[in-house]
Structure 1
Amino acid sequence: MAKWDNMLSMLWMLRSGRKLTAAHIADSLEISVRTVYRYIDALCASGVPVVAESGHDGGIRILESFKETPLFFNAIELKALVDAFKFAQGAGYPYTEELESALKKVENGLQEEQRDDLSRQTSGLDVIAPARPPSVVPLLRDLEQAEKEGRSVRIAYRKANAEQRDERDIDPYGLAYDRNEWYAVAWCHRTQAVRTFRVDRIAELTSTDARFDKPEGFSASAYFRDQSEQGREAAGPLALIRIEGEPDTLNAVCAHWHLRNYLKERTDREAQFLLDVPTMNKYLPVYLLTFGTAIRIREPLELKRRVQEMAHEIAAHYKDDRN
């Protein structure tokens, strides 16, 4: 265990209020008694009032005036915080500046040795952020604030491939980050239904005086799952679909916006899905055919044969084409 991890463990042992001997601490942490006393000196230098009393009733304790334990993190926890910030920044999280400020406060409380170790441990991971309009961050903040206040907003929204944008009033129920995009899940006054709006397609947002009550227990992620369920062709029967391939290829298969909701098991070389037969027959043959020989369908036989038939049909279509 690293030095700072041992010091944290020792600090929590002393927080129990009992007097502990150096030998007891050393045995518990599997370190030497001499190291225990070095840690005591380091904790005292950090402002922790550790007292070592000699004699028959002596021992090591923390003064009762010490009400709160300083915030200590072990090396892996610190690395996780820095890496989480990188992912949040890459996702376009609207409070990355505040998150960075909080992280700097944590880093300022570290010893120089800890800061150097943290820099080494986190230098190997980077998150490549997709290009986004600069307006997305303030839009996310405004939408979240409107959701908290229960206030309707008016948006100018441009659908995919649409030349004109249209205005509509919405009640923001929540935000969701999915497939590298931010979505507002909201009640649309025009359609009188819950809809999703890609935030980067919102050209303008203004507040209104209208108020709304969000449905109790509403979850944006649950809404996305429900939409996928509604995309099924039938309730059953269900078929077990087994697909083999290289890890990267299976990643692409499993990332499909609809299929990923039915993933049941995944290994490096195989992905298993449970999907109703009508949906499987209608959508999967065309989709899986795009992967060519990079995948192999193991089950069910019905799906495998349909892909074979489509491949033969394509080959026959171009058989006599000499150009």
Structure 2
Amino acid sequence: MAKWDNMLSMLWMLRSGRKMTAAQIAGSLETSVRTVYRYIDALCASGVPVVAEAGHDGGIRILESFQETPLFFSSVELKALADAFKFAQGAGYPYTEELESALKKVENGLHEEQRHDLSDLSSGLDVISPARPPSVVALLRELEQAAKEGRTVHIDYRKANSEQADEREVDPYGLAYDRSEWYAVAFCHRSRALRTFRVDRIERLEPTGARFEKPEHFSASAYFRSRSEREREAEGPLTVIRIEGEPETLNAVCGHWHLRHYLTERTDREARFLLDAPTMDKYLPMYLITFGPDIRVLEPPELKSRIREMARGIAKHYDSDELR
């Protein structure tokens, strides 16, 4: 265990309020008594009020004033914070600057050795950020504020491949990050229904004087899941679908915007889904055949048979060219 992780473990032992001997601490940490005293010196230098009392009733303890001292982080916890900032930055999180400022405050409270460890631990991970218009950050903040305050907004929204934007008034209920894009889930006054709007396609946003009440316990992620559920072809018993393939290919299959909601189990070489038979018959053969021999459907037999028929039909179509 790293030195600072050991020191943190020792700190939590002492925060219980009971006295412990150096031998007891050394036994718990599986280290030497001499090392424990080095940890005590380092903690005292960090501003932690560790007291070592000699005598029959003596022992090592920390003063109650330490309750007001900021928490210490283990090396792995610090790495997780630094990596979380990278992911937030890559996702276009609207409060990245504030998150970076908070992380710097944490780093400023570290010792030189801790800062060096953090740099080493977090240097091996990077997040590649997709290109986004700078306006998206401002839009995300405005939409989140409108959702929080229950304020209707006016937007100019351009759909994909549309030549001009539509004007709409919407009640933003929440934001969701899905498939590397930000979406606003909002009640559209024109459609009189809940709709999703890709934030990077909003060309203009203005607040209105109107207000709304968001449904209690609304969840944007739950809405996305329920939307996929509504797009099933039929209710009733679900069919187990097993697909075998290389890890990277299975990643693509499992990441499909519709299929991923029905994933029940995943290993390096196999993925299992639960889906109703009509939806499976309608969508899966055409989608799965695009992966060619990179995947193999293990079950159900009906899906395997449907893909075979489709493949034979394609082969027959191109065989006819040789007869002309």
Assess same fold via TM > 0.5.
yes
The structural deviation recorded for 1:242 is 1.0
Query: Structure 1 residue runs of 4+, over 4 Å off?
Result: none
Amino acid at match of 1:137: V
- The equivalent residue for 2:175 is 175
The aligned residue for residue 185 of structure 2 is 185
Residues 119-173 of structure 1: CA deviation (Å, up to 9, x unaligned): 1111111111111111100000000000111111000000111001011110000
| Cα distance in 2 between the residues matched to 1:247 and 1:68 | 48
Equivalent-residue separation in structure 1 for 2:257 and 2:124 (angstroms): 30
> For 1:14 and 1:237, how far apart are their aligned partners in 2?
56
Residue equivalent to 1:290: 290
**Which structure 1 segments of 5+ residues have no match?**
none
RMSD, aligned α-carbons: 1.2
CA offsets 1:88-123 (integer angstroms, 9 cap, x no match): 110000001000010011111111111111111111
Shift of 1:29: 1.3
- Where 2:225 maps in the other structure, the secondary structure is helix
- Specify the code of the residue in structure 1 equivalent to 2:320: D
How far apart, in 2, do the equivalents of 1:170 and 1:178 lie?
20
| Shift in Å, 1:57 | 2.1
Which residue of the partner structure matches residue 45 of structure 1? 45
Residue 22 of structure 1 is matched in structure 2 by 22
Q: Does 1:245 align with 2:249?
A: no
Paired position in structure 2 for 1:266: 266
Q: How high is the TM-score relative to the length of structure 2?
A: 0.97
Rounded Cα–Cα distance in structure 1 between residues aligned with 2:41 and 2:77: 24
Inter-partner Cα distance in structure 2 for 1:294 and 1:67: 58
Deviation at 1:24, TM superposition (A): 1.4
Mean Cα deviation higher: 225-234 or 25-34: 25-34
Partners of 2:71 and 2:201 in 1: CA distance: 42
1 CA distance for matches of 2:238 and 2:63?
65
Map of 1:219 onto structure 2? 219
Cα deviation, 1:3-48, whole Å, max 9, x if unaligned, reads 1111112122222222221111111211111111111111111111
Which shifted more, 52-61 or 78-87? Answer: 52-61
Which position in structure 2 is the counterpart of 1:146?
146
Report what 1:92 is aligned to: 92
Which one is further off, 230-239 or 143-152? 230-239
User: Which whole-Å deviations, capped at 9, do the CAs of 1:222-270 have from their partners, x for residues lacking one?
Assistant: 1001100111110133211111111111111111111111111111111
Asked if 1:120 corresponds to 2:128, the answer is no
Displacement after TM superposition at 1:203 (Å): 0.1
Q: Which moved more, 1:59-68 or 1:22-31?
A: 59-68
| Secondary structure, aligned partner of 2:232 | coil
Matches of 1:296 and 1:176, distance apart in 2: 33
Gaps of 5+ in 2: none
SS in 2 for 1:221: helix
SS of the residue 1:182 aligns to: strand
TM-score (normalised: structure 1): 0.97
CA distance in 2, matches of 1:314, 1:113: 64
Q: How many residues align?
A: 323
Give secondary structure in 1 for the equivalent of 2:319. coil
Structure 2 CA distance for partners of 1:272 and 1:63, relative to 1, 3 Å: closer
SS across alignment from 1:61: strand
Distance, in Å, in 1 between the alignment partners of 2:10 and 2:266 is 41
* AA of the residue aligned to 2:271: A
Secondary structure in structure 2 of the residue aligned to 1:39: helix
In structure 2, distance between residues paired with 1:88 and 1:216: 27
Secondary structure of 1:289's match? Answer: helix
What SS does the corresponding residue of 1:222 show, helix, strand or coil? Answer: helix
> Identity, % of aligned pairs?
79
Partner of 1:315: 315
* Deviates most, 59-68 or 118-127: 59-68
Letter in 2 for 1:305: S
1:236, 1:277 within 8 Å by CA — same for their partners in 2?
Answer: no
Q: How does 1:276-287 map to 2 (within 5 A)?
A: 276-287=276-287
1:65 is displaced (CA, Å) by 3.5
1:103 equivalent in structure 2: 103
